[in-house]
Amino acid sequence: MFVQTVDTLLVVGLGLIGGSFAAAVKSAGVCRQVYGYDQDRGSLEEAEALGIIDHGCQNLAEGVAVADVIMLAVPMLAMRPVLEQLAECSLDGSLNSKVITDAGSSKRTLLDAALEVFGEVPDYLVPGHPIAGSEESGVAAAKADLFEAHDVILTPLENTRLPAIEKVKMLWEACGAVVTNMDLYHHDEVLAKTSHLPHVLAFSLVDTLAGNPDNHDIFRFAAGGFRDFTRIAGSDPVMWHDVALGNSQAVLAALDEFTDGLEVLRKAIIEKDSQSLLGIFGRARSARQHFSSLLESRKQRVKALPESLVSREGLSGSVLCSCPGQFEEKETKEEVMESMKESTQMFIASPGGSISGEFRVPGDKSISHRSIMLGALAEGETVIEGFLEGEDALATLKAFRDMGVQIDGPYQGRVTIQGVGMHGLKQPEGPLYLGNAGTAMRLMAGLMSAQSFDVTLTGDHSLSGRPMNRVVDPLAQMGARIETLDGGRPPLKIKGGSHLKGIEYQLPMASAQVQSCLLLAGMYAEGETVTVAPGIVRDHTNRMLSGFGYPVAVTGDNGCRVAVEGGGKLEATRIDVPADVSSAAFFMVAASIAEGSEVRLSHVGMNPTRSGVVEILQLMGADITLENESLVGGEPVADIVVRSAQLKGIDIPERLVPIAIDEFPVLFVAAACAQGRTLLTGARELRVKESDRIQAMADGLISLGIDAQPLPDGMMINGSGVATKPVFKGGTIDSHGDHRIAMAFAVAALRAKDDIRILDCANVATSFPDFAGLATRAGMRIVVKGKCE
């Protein structure tokens, strides 16, 4: 529970925002009493009648005298007169013991007004801005839940008192908001583009069409797109008048930038330039999908626990948000996980059924990541077919766009990249957000270490808890300068201008991500960079570097020694991304364990460093055959035909572990359905994936009635499967935000006695968009609940 640290709150301005803030704080019980003041006596009386405030003040001085915290929720151009009244109320200096904050959308206006009134910005003033609202206005529209799961941006200055910031932050968190700090001027620039510009455009469009002689038919037959886009034109005109004038400089800059883009679009239409139009629309669609993934991540933080407001000490085990010059906002991992369980996407997988049909699963994620990276650094135009339009790969695409690379698409799996060459990347305006993409972060750490500019790589809660030392340490040996949080966790702050030197590095485990990271850095390093692996490592990077014309030397047993010489260049090429064998694995196991099943999975990548799952299943007795085998773009592909069969337990050969490392969650499900014991060892890497996959899978299997024993580097499962009988009890499974665990337990439902409810499934979209839809069409029974709209 939140502790009452505010005796009396005074809200000045009882419109939608002020009224909602008063109602939310009052509902949360974090203030002993909530006072209100508004020049409109009717609004004041209505707020009292609705129970939004405890007491309505007849004048401002009455409220200021008793308040600990004063919230200014008035139009931006009314801010200076209100501050002048506050100054008059404080001739005895009593304001110094209070905290003042505001809810205005232009912080420069507040800053200028404070300087004019007080001669300086008081250290008890905490500028703030809630990113929430409604087309309705007035105190009657106030809602106590208006700010739940919405951002609130605080823009304190260097002299702002820390206790004042903490007090305001506590009040907003009590309202259910997610609080972030931001530079005051940067706030105005960002909001001009993301909030003020869309409102101005909506007002202008509706006003223009309203003046059209055919306005009756225009509005009568307006479709959903028009209604969605223009909804915000129903907002308070006075407020937006003040915003447009109060933040005029940033709004005009945003309008100019938009006008330039509109002119490019206009020219493309006039010239019937299909390529440019598809490029504009494709980039916009991809960016919108990336934005949607950010919204889904925010959904995971709904109802963050009050205890997330902790002291400035004790950083270990926390997720940090850097707030330069101020304080660090912390939320413990346990709180994050709890909030995710409460609010994120859930699968309900019903028991029974069989699967059948012929279909192609999405493109290979590993190849999709690498094709964007190398295509961006190549000279010329690279065309990618079959690109995985999942959130992880889209995050990589977005990151390189942010570094100045023109990338058109994806459009039906087709992406076109205008490469900028090895030294053509530009410094991004802010951190590169990689979502849940651990592959992207580890590989890009190598590339970014060699650039001339500083860059920060960041990700979602899951990625922020995963160790990066296994790439950071060898990169440091090469001369890279990278800062991390405790335990080597992201964000990675990479300093530019480092002079890298080639090294010979003995990989402590067979990791394609570590090897690829060092090879990519090695392209920029002085001399030769060599990696030596203790076992088989996925060779997508080696193959693709060769495909782009960069020399790679592969020697040793099973190609364990890989070397590149720095100073080369990449030549653009065409890439055909095969279907991802890791995604196909879920349907291989599903068809194997569900009686009467038969599926054909087409054009699946059968790279020998990735296809261990097929051999493991065949050793277990699965009926799997390969057809139409061929070589496409240097990668072997085939159609995989799977028919149901009785599986048997085996000791999984350790030589197959590194080439099936991502498929073990669903292989554990296969083992539970097999007759006899299955033993996996040598797979310690599973403990540092998106989750601790050994423990998470063991916990889930045990809860569903399976005899499973987690080991330090694997698992022992005693299967009791008879092909015609259910194996799993029903129950609720925590996927821990791990896409492969979520999909694995969805497959398990084929042999369950009752529904399996799988929590925290939003990240399935990172690797397998529309998994539930494709699985349902194949014959599984999955219902998705809580999907972010």
Cα–Cα distance measured from residue 76 to residue 97, given in angstroms and rounded to the nearest whole number: 25
Q: Which tokens is 681 given? A: 């060892």
Nearest CA to 741 out of 701, 704, 706 is that of 701
* Direct distance between the N- and C-terminal alpha carbons of the chain, in angstroms, rounded to an integer: 30
Q: What residues does 56 pair with on adjacent strands?
A: 36
Return the HEC string of 497-535.
CCCCECCEEECCCCCHHHHHHHHHHHCCCECEEEEECCC
Partnered with residue 529 across adjacent β-strands are: 564
**Sheet of 151-154: strands edge to edge?**
128-130, 151-154, 178-181
Q: Catalytic residue at 662?
A: yes
Q: What is the side-by-side strand order in the sheet with 675-680? A: 675-680, 714-720, 707-711
Active-site annotation holder among 662, 734, 738, 760: 662
For 156-171, letters b (16+ CB in 10 Å) and e give bbeebeeebbbbbbbb
- d(C-alpha 706, C-alpha 699), whole Å: 10
Q: Are 560 and 573 in contact (CB under 8 A)?
A: no
Count other C-beta atoms under 10 Å from residue 234's C-beta.
Answer: 14
**Inter-residue contact 366 to 538 (CB < 8 Å):** yes
d(CA 687, CA 699) in angstroms, rounded, equals 13
Chain centre to alpha carbon of residue 740 = 17
The sign of the CA dihedral 225, 228, 234, 235 is: negative
Angstrom distance (rounded) from CA 227 to CA 635:
47
E-assigned strand segments in 113-259: 125-126, 128-130, 151-154, 178-181
SS3 (DSSP) at 663: helix
Contact in structure between 305 and 339 (CB atoms under 8 Å): yes
Six token digits for residue 322: 């850097």
Q: Which residue has the tokens 């990249």?
A: 417
Residue 755 contacts by C-beta under 8 Å, 6 or more apart in sequence? Answer: 348, 349, 350, 351, 730, 749
Measured between alpha carbons, how far is 14 from 140 in angstroms, rounded to an integer?
Answer: 9
Distance (Å) of CA 616 to CA 585, 606, 625: 11, 14, 13
Q: Which residues are catalytic, by number?
A: 662
